Structures are given as C-alpha cells and as structure tokens.
Structure 1
Amino acid sequence: MASVKDILKIPKFRNSKVVAGHKGLDKNIRYVTVMEVPNIVKWLKGDDLLITSLYSIKDDIEKQCNLIRELSKSSCSCVAIKVGEYVDKIPEELKRIADECELPLIEIPYDLIYIDIIMSVMNLIFEERDSDSIAQKYIKDIIFDIYEDEKIMMEKGKLLGIDVNRDWFLAITLSFNEDEEIDENQVGSLKRVAKGISKYATNNNEFELNPYISTDKSVSIIFQSQSKDSIEKMLPYIEKECLIQVDKYLKNKKVFIGIGTIETNINGIKNSYFNSVKAIESGQIFKEENKIFYYKDMEMFCILNEVIGESRESLNNIVLKNVNDKELLNTLIKYYECNANLDETAAKLFVHKNTVKYRLQKIKEITGLDVKVHEDSFKLYLAVIANKMLLNSTKK
C-alpha cells in the first residue's frame, strides 16, 4: 500500500515540502479528498490524503488548529495545504499541533492544480504498489511498443511527471556476460544496483523518476531530466556510481555497461534504450577488454555488426579459411586491437617484435594479403571482425 513517503516521490510533489508531522510519513494513503467545507471530517474514510487551501476557515487560526486535531483523530494520514491563494503560509501553531499529532503537513505551491495531484495519487494507489513500478511499466510499454495510441501514452506520461516531448532521456544498460551462468540472487543484486544508481541520480534536483526495466541478464535505467545539458554534466558522475554499485554488489561478476544516446520524445526513449544494448553487444565483440561502452564511440562497430551479420561466416572463410594456426590468428587479431602498432602488439603477446613481424609475414604467405598494403589490410581487418562475431555467436 502507498505511504505518505511514496506520495512525496511523485514528480507532481517535487516543489512541495513537508513542514510538520515528519513522524507520520509512513502512514498509508488509500483515498484522496479535497476540502471545500468546514465539516469535512465526517466525509473522510480513513487513510485519507486531504487537499485544501483552507478557504472556508482562512481567517480563523483556532478553527484551523481544531481541524488538524479532528483530522488526526479521524485517521486522516496527511494534509496538503495550498499556499499563496487564501493563506500566505502555514501558521506555526498549525505546525506545532501537527507535530504533536504526528500528522504530516505538506505545503504545496499555488500553481499546482488539484486534478493533477488527484490523478497522480490515484494512479499510485490503484494501478501499482509505488511510483517506481508505475514508471517502470510505462517505460517498458514504450520501449516494447505495448500501446496503440501515442497521444494517450503522452497524456499518461504527464500524469506520472514524464513529458516525453519536453523531457530528455538517456538509457544506461548493465548486463552480465552472455556466457556466464547467473542465478536468481545475482539477478536480484543487479536490480539492487539499478535501484542504487537511480536513487543516486534522483537526489540531483534536475533529475526526476529514472525508472529501470529488467530482462533475464540485464537492467536498463532510463534517466530523465528537463535539460539535455544536465544529463551531459551528470553523466561522468553516474558512470562512476555505476562502477561503485557494481563493485559493491557484484564484485566477482563481469558486468558490462552500455550508455545510449541522449534523446527526447517516445522514439528517443526507444532509440536510447536499444543503442545502449547495441553498444554492449558490439563492445563484447570488438572491445571486450573494456567494461563501459558509449554508443557514440561504438556506433561504427554497431553498424558493422548489423551489416556483416549473416555474412560473417562467408567473409571469414574467404580470407582466413586457411589460417589454421591459432597463434597466427591471435597475433593478427591483437595487431588490429593495438591499432597496427608492432611494439604494442609484441608487448601484449609477450613476444619479441620480430616474432610479430614473422607471424604477419606467414599470414601474407597463406592469404596473399599484406597488412602494410591499405586495401589488403582492410580485407584482413574485416575478416578479423567477422571472426570475432563468429566466436561471439558460439558463446550464446
């Protein structure tokens, strides 16, 4: 059941503040009521969130204080008072009594519309257990096209505090190595990591819901902000937090991190998510020594992965079919991983530079292709890519 704490997480309440009754924040909320008459108490059902501007008793502090006492006795869970219209601020006497009764008082701004509050809270109460799960379902429906009317999805998003045409989004995916055996506890730990990262970003005032969705071996967090610049500035810190959380909960597991593109609107959410996934898929093939893959850096490899696709076996066989010596093949692969640097290749392989030269010469004799000739090197490099893709496909 939703609590006062859960209600306060709703984006519509982000400019509101609890001014008294902090000890009652764990109280449950089951109903939402708007106060328009002085004797509202008899209409309450219990576990209510009462919204009021105090209009009917705006000039009588004593009646306001009595109202708080009566609401507390009637099992009202929380009172949200709109300031700036009929009362400039919540009186200190009201705050004192609310503290005594442990009845939370929330100060809400003048421009917050009642219907927005009601719809947001009712969604929280009736649709899902808490605001996180509502947002998770909403984002998942967008990514996997589980909806029919885009306009309805946009309106539904606004009720959750997600304006897909105004806000900016970035997907970051964390995924286990495909060839590793993963148990339920480790999947649970990965979700815990996602929650920690999401909470870390939410603590920044310019970030909002940051829901996450999960699959069998991965979780993806969709970061949300009204400003693209805010996401760009915060990204290095989020990246660092990802590594901290992974090290804390999954220290002995290899977890890859894919960072999508910063985009807006419904299609932008989808693009960022799938780009973060593609970055990991291509990164495991072409940059397997890395942990973090930015789509912007991996885009060309992602395209190659898609373009070569089903032709990888043919391409590999055309060029490297007769290279049966694993030592020769590994040298060629390492040579391109080291950007065709002989010294670095030798160091990585723990051999002398002349040994690398000898092996590349042997490859030339077998394939007829010379790494020092631009066109030949291009063919060899494509074949190496195809070979990596073949090896990766056998792991799945």
Structure 2
Amino acid sequence: MHSIDSKIAQGIVNRVMKVIPYNVNIMNQDGVIIASGDRSRLNKIHSGALLVLEEKKSVEIHKDTDKEKAGINLPIMFSNETIGVIGVTGNPDDIRQFGELVRITAELLVNEHFIFSKKKAFEMHRDKFLYELTQLDGEYSERIKQESNELGINLDVPRIALVISMKNKDFNYYVKIKDKLWMFLEKQEFIIEYFENTFVVLVNTPSKQNIIIDILYNEEVEIGVSLKEALISTAVKQGDLAIKVGKALNKDEKVLRYEELYFLSTLTTCKGNEILKRHIEILKNEGNKLDLIDTILSYIENSGEINTISKNLNIHRNTLNYRLEKIHSLTGKNPKNFLDLLELYTAYILYN
C-alpha cells in the first residue's frame, strides 16, 4: 500500500499555492491533515477527507463548522488506489474551477515522487550488489546470476576495472569527477563506491579504458588498471594491487597498470613474515642517516651498475661500497647477491 510522506505532501501544497490564491490541505489515508498552508490545521482529523476516502469521490463542504471549513476535497489516486485527499479551502462556487486542476497536479507530483523513489531504490540495490561483487571469492553462484539479471547486470561480459584513488579529499570534487565519468559510460559499464575516497569504474573495452584515463589525466587522482577479467572481483583486486605496489615503489606515475606490476604484486603474499619486517625496521632505524633503503632501490633500478648508482645517489664509489657492506652487516643479506637483493626488495615492498 502506498502512502504520502508529510514532507512530500507539504512540498506539493507549497507548489500548488504558488498558482492559486487559496489555502490547500493534504490529508493521509486516515483523514489526518499532514500538510497545509495553514500550519494551525496540521495533525487534525478532516471529516470531509474521511467522506472522500469512504466514497472515493469528491466532496464539497459549503459551510464552516467547528471541525471543518468550506471547500472542495478530492481523492489523490496512484495505481488505482486512493492514497490521500487534497482539499482547497473556500466557497465551492468560487474554487470549483481549481478543483480538478489541483487534483491532477497533486497526482502528477505524487507519481513523479514514487517513480523517482522506485528508481532510487533500484539504483541503491544495484550499487550495493556491485560492491558485493568486488568482495566475492570464487565463481558466480546461481543466486548471484539470477539477481544480476534482475538488476540488468550481464556477468558474462569481461570487464576492465579502473580503481580511482582520490588525492583531493574534498567531497564536492569527488562527486564532480564521478558525474563527469558517468557521461562517457555505456550500457554494462558501471561506477562502484569502493571505499573512502576511492571508487571503481568498470569498462568493457581497452579503448574506453583509455578514454577514462585521458579524462582523468589532469585530475588529482591515481588510477590502478586491471587486466580484462571475467570476474569483477578479480579485476578490482588487480587494480587495487597496482596502486598499492606503485605506492610502495614510490612511483610518480598517475596510471599504474597491473600488467606491468603483477610480478611484484605476487610478493604481497609474503605479508606477515617477521624476518622481512625486521630487515626494513633495521634499515630504517640504524641505517636512516646513510640512506640505505634508497641505496637498495637505486641498486635495483640501475641493475647493479656501480658508476650509474653512484651518480644517481650523488656519492663516491667508495661511499656506495661502504653502504652496501653496511646493509650486509645489519641484515645479513648481501645486496650483490641476487637472491639476497630480492629478499631485501620484497621486504621494502611489504613494509615500507
């Protein structure tokens, strides 16, 4: 059963009274006045409305009494159901010309409200469902497939996830960016609220991926780009990992692609290893003044080329060798040994 909210009813009253010079009331299905141009009449039983609800037709009152005022009262219909009554106060002979106009206006506004509410409820359900898909482990169940069909989401379409992390934390900026992106999305492409200051854009093609990246390139964001995946959760996790690994490596790029970082992202499965954690703690605490972590990163980025590393760090070769020996003595890992260097680099990615 539908009912009129008092806030919506008062909005209708206010709009109608802008175009007619008479007081207007709206009564609910119990005949109680829930909106009125005369605030003193709120929450009172309207006997004329009770007659309208009982007889399901317009009722005219020609004289003021203790319980009611002269006027015309008409049923408000929605989906063949009487959901309330709208009344215009005044001499029926004077206001009869407004009666049908007022009723039709009220019904149009009520219909608009219910359609909007239904659309909003659908969108909220769909958004919640899409978020749940980002957290899913494993394949889609039959229940999920059925619900997705009801919500118009085709799970057979492989998608690319762009995880958008906002550097600008202003909420209005966040909304502006999302609204801009919606203009470029097509059917079966979605925006998902992921977590605070981060949302996900699901697109169907690499060309649309590139369009989104171009739109965002001058904005205050970081973008993690996944591979094209059958499962939404897989794509989103890839985009998320691309950002996390990119941040760990202090990469300045705005666009971080899982395709380029997937090998390093596999190292995150080592999280929780106390030995790796201790390596970084030692290098941070005891090697801070010597910039030992920066030395390791430069050593990797420059493939162990001593001259290039020395130039990059702006230090002498002897200073570089001293730092490498210090790393070895503090951690027991020799950066000149490939496996030891990989262990130190893994520790950095996980715990920096």
TM-score, normalised on structure 1? Answer: 0.51
Partner of 1:163, secondary structure, is coil
**2:340 matches 1:379:** yes
The equivalences for 1:201-240 within 5 A come to 201-202=185-186, 208-223=188-203, 225=204, 231-240=205-214
Equivalent in the alignment of 2:237:
274
| Partner-residue secondary structure (3-state), 1:383 | helix
Superposition map of 1:232-381 within 5 A: 232-244=206-218, 246=219, 250=220, 255-264=221-230, 268-307=231-270, 309-311=271-273, 313-317=274-278, 321=282, 324-326=286-288, 327-329=290-292, 330-352=294-316, 355-364=319-328, 369-372=333-336, 376-381=337-342
C-alpha distance in 1 between matches for 2:201 and 2:165: 12
Cα distance in 1 for residues equivalent to 2:120 and 2:312: 53
User: Deviation at 1:139?
Assistant: 0.9
Cα displacement (A) at 1:294: 1.4
Deviation of 1:304 (Å) = 0.5
Query: Structure 1 340/191 Cα, relative in aligned 2: closer, same or farther at 3 Å?
Result: farther
Which digits, 9 at most, give the CA deviation of each residue in 1:338-361, with x for residues without a partner? 343444433432335554344334
**Which string of whole-angstrom CA distances, capped at 9 and with x for unpartnered residues, describes residues 173-224 of structure 1?**
11246xxxx75xx24423432332342243xxxx54422324113111122x
Alignment check: 8 A CA contact 1:124 1:131 kept: no
Q: Distance in 2 between matches of 1:367 and 1:125?
A: 63
**Matched position secondary structure for 2:161:** strand
Q: Tell me which structure has the larger Cα radius of gyration.
A: 2
Counterpart selection for 1:138 from 124, 129, 132 = 129
Structure of higher RCO (CA pairs closer than 8 Å, 6+ residues apart) = 1
> In structure 2, how many angstroms separate the alpha carbons of the residues matched to 1:169 and 1:271?
10
Q: Is the 8 A contact 1:286 1:385 kept in 2?
A: no
**Distance in 1 between the 2:258 and 2:153 partners?**
24
Taking every aligned residue pair, what percent have the same amino acid on both sides?
16
Tell me the SS of whatever aligns to 2:190. Answer: coil
- Tell whether 2:164 aligns with 1:170: no
Contact 2:280 2:351 in 1 (8 A): no
Q: Contact 2:334/2:340 (CA < 8 Å) preserved in 1? A: no
Looking at structure 1, the residues matched to 322 and 307 of structure 2 have their Cα atoms a distance apart, in angstroms, of 13
Q: 1:196/1:352 Cα in 2 relative to 1: closer, same or farther (>3 Å)?
A: farther
Where does the alignment leave 5 or more consecutive residues of structure 1 unmatched?
1-44, 48-73, 76-122, 226-230, 392-396
Structure 2 Cα separation of the partners of residues 164 and 243 of structure 1:
29
Change (3 A) 1:319 1:221: closer
Could you tell me which residue of structure 1 aligns to residue 120 of structure 2?
Answer: 129
Alignment: residue pair count: 247
Q: 1:360 to 1:212 in 2, by over 3 A?
A: same
Calculate the TM-score normalised by the size of structure 2.
Answer: 0.57
Q: Is the 8 A contact 1:213 1:221 kept in 2?
A: no
> Hey, what's the Cα distance between the residues in 2 that align with 1:126 and 1:273?
30
Distance 1:316 1:258, change over 3 A: same
Q: How far, CA to CA, are the matches of 1:212 and 1:163 in structure 2?
A: 15
